[in-house]
Amino acid sequence: MHTDLKFMTVMQWMSPAFPIGAFAYSHGLEWAIDKGHVSNGKKLQNWITDLLEYGSLRTDAIFISLILRGYDAKKMNELSIALCPAGERLLETKLQGSAFAKVIEDVWKQDIGELSLPIAVALAAKNQSIEQDLILPAYLHAFCSNLVSVAIRLIPIGQTEGQRIMLGLSSKISDLVQSASESEIDDLNSACFFSDVSAMEHEHLQPRVFKT
């Protein structure tokens, strides 16, 4: 596939218009906002930075890199599912992964099966010969952007502040792309315990806007 076509494919997959329902998930952030733990732009940026440096986004990035470097997708999917620390995290990644796979099959005629979201994205990219340097930063940017969108609606912060936060996260995303490309399976770990707790606590939050 020509590089320009690869780039446009990645843009399409990671667009908010791609029908995986990402807008319905807050990754536990809704609970953290509701309880006052994330109450302004600085705290939001720190929260997402922690996910990139120590938490679920770091784990997702490593999984994507491993798949693109030839690791078995089925085994990586089993590990990805096993590492979900809460029921809603499991729901989030499985439902979005299934939705992503359905569109890939319907439009790109690839049957990648029922997978967690990062594994589904990685396998689709591998089948289209899309390189890490294209898909990985796009995936991380889209995930971070969705969390910023959650905060814009709930804290609230303004859209301009949201763009400042995304700009501030750019270097963290770039650093993670580089480190993930050099990581191995033994590097998979997470130390964002409060984020994990927020996902657990969100199961009991009422009223709420987001599924997770």
pLDDT in tens, 148-205: 999 999 999 999 999 999 999 999 999 999 999 999 999 999 999 999 999 999 999 9
Residues 6+ apart with CB under 8 A from 105: 111, 112
Cα–Cα dist 170/180, whole Å? 15
**Single-letter amino acid, residue 26:** S
Mean pLDDT of 61-89: 97
Question: Residues 59-74: pLDDT tens digits?
Answer: 999 999 999 999 999 9
Residue 204 is predicted with a pLDDT of 96
Structural contact between residues 143 and 104, judged by C-beta atoms closer than 8 angstroms: no
Mean pLDDT over residues 94-98, rounded?
98
pLDDT score at 148: 98
pLDDT band of residue 86 (cuts 50, 70, 90) is: very high
Q: How far apart are the first and last CA of the chain?
A: 36
CA 4 to chain centre: 24
The whole-number pLDDT of residue 1 equals 65
pLDDT of residue 136: 98
Q: Name every residue whose Cβ is closer than 8 Å to that of residue 166 and which is 6 or more positions away in sequence.
A: 141, 144, 145, 148
Confidence band, pLDDT 50/70/90 cuts, at residue 146: very high
Give domain 42-202's CATH superfamily. Answer: Urease accessory protein UreF (1.10.4190.10)
